[in-house]
Structure 1
Amino acid sequence: MKAKNFNLVGFALALSALTACGGGEGSGATTAASAPSAQPAPVVTPVSTASTLVTAVSPSTYAVGSEEAAAFDKLNAERNACGFGLLAQNANLDVAAKGHANWNVLNGYFGHFQIAGTPGFTGVTPQERFAKAGYTVGQGSTVGDESTSVIYSGNKVGFGKVGMVRLLNAPYHLAGLMSGFREVGFSVLSSDDIAGSALRQVTLQANLAYKDVDQPQLIDGSSVATYPCEGSTGINRQLADETPNPVPGRDLSRLPLGSSVYIAVRDGNKLTITNASLTNLATGVPVTVRPVLNSDSDPNKVNGQSYFAGHQAFITADAPMAANTRYQVVINGTNNGAAFNRTFIFTTGTGG
């Protein structure tokens, strides 16, 4: 079944000891965001099982050396390396992203929903903002909204890449960033860019979408993709906060999680993980991992509906990983009932 309304797959990620929140109506700098209003990922019924991944896109038009270029290049490099397909820059999505980043910074908010009548208002929902920016929405596209902010700093230098790396180790964000979208727009703005900002803040805003006429990117029906994957480097070693919280009730600022591994099969297939392990190759010591996170076990379901689809799953280390260290991942499971095994090595960085 085609998804006819927008799929809000991302929520704001707090960075280290700094404050960021989001998901529901935008919240002020000193308050938590309201409970997120989410829609589950649309289930795609494939006609063919052949891959429809995009393997080439035009170079972006972001300014050389800009934070937007860094975020775009980082996301596409990771998607391409791990078999999720490339995203094309879309100027309308850039406009929508810049408008919402501007609104967040101007008002000192961190959410995905704007408030009518406030300075810089461009639309309450992502769907409204995409439409205002000229991107086809409603019955013609599926859209996603991802953002991350850091406060008490107006310095955005390096935040395009750093912010993206942090989003890529947050399960509820990672699922969206590695999903079947075809187009993306970015904006990275700080309070130094915007006169009259409510507080010192930097925001990375990513808007993703695909038009229904094009259909989403789909991996081959027999394939199993992961992120990180073989050879991935610089993976954040810990997760200090995310909304929704992957472990409700756990204060991630005091008890962070470690790195997460995303596993996906073709959208429309059923993924089952039967066993998964992480091992520190420097010491040979197994890493304690949490129970598999998927559409069945998702603790943040809204009215019984998961943020994840049946083709997605995560394994997550229960504590921060060692920095600059190689880890081996072993995953066993089934893809639509067919058994598979994946073994690969990734390397952590120092971030998180």
Structure 2
Amino acid sequence: MMQYKRYMTTLMLSGTLLYGGFFGSEQKVVVRTQPAMDVAYEKHEAFSLVNEVREALGMNTLMPNKSLALAAQSHAEYLVKNRSSAHTEVEGLPGFTGVHPYERAFHAGYLSTFVTENLSTQNKDAKSSVDGLFSAIYHRFGFLDVGIDEMGVGAAQQYTDTKNSAFVYEMGNSELNALCREPSFQGSGRYIYHVCKDPLYRIASKRFEKAQNSSKWMNPKVILYPYEGQSGVPPAFYEEVPDPLPDYEVSGFPVSVTFNDYFFHKVKLRSFSLFQGSSTKPVPARLLSKQNDPNGRFSRFEFALFPLERLAYDTKYRAQISYIYKGREVSKSWHFHTKKPLEKLIYIRKKEATITLTRGRGYWLYFVPMDGHDTLSDILFPEDIDIAFIDNNTLRISPMGEKSNDFTLRSGKRTLHVKVVD
């Protein structure tokens, strides 16, 4: 059966922002909530952001599909109602419309089984959702699929608990879906079935293959991400379910290459390296392919290079690959630039440290990982201080007012003493 499914869920920031006022030996702790989203706007923004990346890569942009949008919205609402982050639904729970993505698409009026799904939960907006999914390699490959040409986006958020949110992206192939509307093939010759809502519906093999390839020929032969000249690239990769790097909780942002199977029948990758700045020494990294992907999700046309340490902020990197194509070695080199902090960046390198901050000025506090498992957990801080996550190792402290005093910030084994001066 031609069912294209990527059943995985990106994990959002693991920490919780807690603030407390101190009363003698007792501590009053309150969970800080995030602002409510304009759901309609964020859905539109999410769709646009995915297409912006595809367009920058020279890929075909995705068309909106009402059935896929309806399926995506119903699943987003299901996730929020049931506080779930799964690609599957459980019959009998509120909002159930189908166990698997293609079944939910059927329920919404889609006819083809060729449905792929990406989703994220606990996001504050579309950008954090899309950025997180592009950092999660299996989900990235879903967005960069050369065989899709349409998409629907759904988003939902619980009114009384704004952290309980979900974005869902359903993707498909319009040509395959259109074939499922035509009369079933009754002639002689090879045919395909189990590809439409009616499992016995038949499609002539040649027509099926043509529909499968309908968008592939429009896409580049080789798709490189981050793309040439991309800026604002997140420096870190955290965890994904399933996890492509299970022995690391924090590593560098993965660099990937996808070979378009319309042009490549087989791929022989000779080398794949990443360099920081003008250095000629490769960044220590792990190369994943179909042969060593721990979860068996990569195709033989997909490769990803995972730096074993976070990348540096505001830094230019050069990626380089070489491969064999039609008997000849081909080399490609491209550059990207990591995210630039919007305010002064302070490095925290010890388990316990003391820093001095100026009142009225915003800062980014970067807790440099001591190993591949060192991330921030719940953050405890005074209630008059405004702190937000940038990522699982970086916090933003908003400008402090006149009444702000020295304070201590705690997270797991980390303790940071902050002196506030004028």
Is the CA contact (8 Å cut-off) linking 1:232 and 1:346 kept in structure 2?
yes
Counterpart position of 1:309: 299
Is the CA contact (8 Å cut-off) linking 1:221 and 1:265 kept in structure 2?
no
Match of residue 7, structure 1, among 4, 7, 24: 4
Change beyond 3 A, Cα 1:336–1:247: farther
Q: How does 1:86-97 map to 2 (within 5 A)?
A: 86-97=61-72
Counterpart position of 1:271: 267
Counterpart position of 1:127: 102
Output the CA distance in 2 between the equivalents of 1:229 and 1:344: 8
Post-superposition shift, 1:69? Answer: 1.5
Greater fraction strand = 2
2:300 partner SS = coil
Q: How does 1:41-80 map to 2 (within 5 A)?
A: 66-80=41-55
For 2:67, the aligned partner's letter is: N
1:66 partner SS = helix
Post-superposition shift, 1:200? Answer: 4.2
Change beyond 3 A, Cα 1:342–1:123: same
Output the CA distance in 2 between the equivalents of 1:221 and 1:182: 11
For 2:2, the aligned partner's letter is: N
Output the CA distance in 2 between the equivalents of 1:111 and 1:338: 44
Is the CA contact (8 Å cut-off) linking 1:87 and 1:183 kept in structure 2?
yes
1:86 partner SS = coil
2:131 partner SS = helix
Post-superposition shift, 1:16? Answer: 2.9
Q: Answer with 273-282 or 320-329: which moved more.
A: 273-282
Output the CA distance in 2 between the equivalents of 1:10 and 1:282: 39
Counterpart position of 1:325: 315
Output the CA distance in 2 between the equivalents of 1:286 and 1:323: 18
For 1:244, the aligned partner's letter is: P
Is the CA contact (8 Å cut-off) linking 1:105 and 1:189 kept in structure 2?
yes
For 1:264, the aligned partner's letter is: T
Q: Which has the larger radius of gyration?
A: 2
Post-superposition shift, 1:144? Answer: 0.3
Output the CA distance in 2 between the equivalents of 1:338 and 1:220: 23
- Residue 271 of structure 2 is aligned to residue 261 of structure 1: no
Output the CA distance in 2 between the equivalents of 1:83 and 1:295: 25
**Structure 2: gaps of 5 or more residues:** 17-37, 180-210, 342-389, 392-422
Q: How does 1:20-59 map to 2 (within 5 A)?
A: none
Counterpart position of 2:245: 247
Output the CA distance in 2 between the equivalents of 1:84 and 1:129: 27
Counterpart position of 1:137: 112
Q: Deviations over 1:68-104 (max 9, x none)?
A: 1211111111111112321111111110000000000
Identity of aligned residues (%): 26
Is the CA contact (8 Å cut-off) linking 1:237 and 1:321 kept in structure 2?
yes
**Structure 1: gaps of 5 or more residues:** 20-62, 151-155, 302-306
Change beyond 3 A, Cα 1:16–1:337: farther
Counterpart position of 1:181: 148
Change beyond 3 A, Cα 1:335–1:105: farther
- Residue 300 of structure 2 is aligned to residue 300 of structure 1: no
Counterpart position of 1:169: 135
Post-superposition shift, 1:221? Answer: 9.3
Change beyond 3 A, Cα 1:64–1:99: closer
Post-superposition shift, 1:239? Answer: 1.2
- Residue 345 of structure 2 is aligned to residue 345 of structure 1: no
Output the CA distance in 2 between the equivalents of 1:64 and 1:118: 23
Output the CA distance in 2 between the equivalents of 1:219 and 1:298: 27
Change beyond 3 A, Cα 1:10–1:167: farther
Q: State the TM-score, normalizing by the size of structure 2.
A: 0.62
Counterpart position of 1:201: 164
Output the CA distance in 1 between the equivalents of 2:62 and 2:151: 6
Number of aligned positions between the proteins: 283
Q: Answer with 228-237 or 109-118: which moved more.
A: 228-237
Q: State the TM-score, normalizing by the size of structure 1.
A: 0.74
Change beyond 3 A, Cα 1:222–1:163: closer
1:74 partner SS = helix
Is the CA contact (8 Å cut-off) linking 1:10 and 1:176 kept in structure 2?
no
Structure with higher RCO (Cα < 8 A, 6+ apart): 1
Post-superposition shift, 1:10? Answer: 4.9
- Residue 276 of structure 2 is aligned to residue 280 of structure 1: yes
Q: Answer with 218-227 or 234-243: which moved more.
A: 218-227
Is the CA contact (8 Å cut-off) linking 2:58 and 2:220 kept in structure 1?
no
- Residue 260 of structure 2 is aligned to residue 289 of structure 1: no
Q: Deviations over 1:179-203 (max 9, x none)?
A: 02111011121112xx7x8x94111
Is the CA contact (8 Å cut-off) linking 1:148 and 1:167 kept in structure 2?
yes
Post-superposition shift, 1:64? Answer: 11
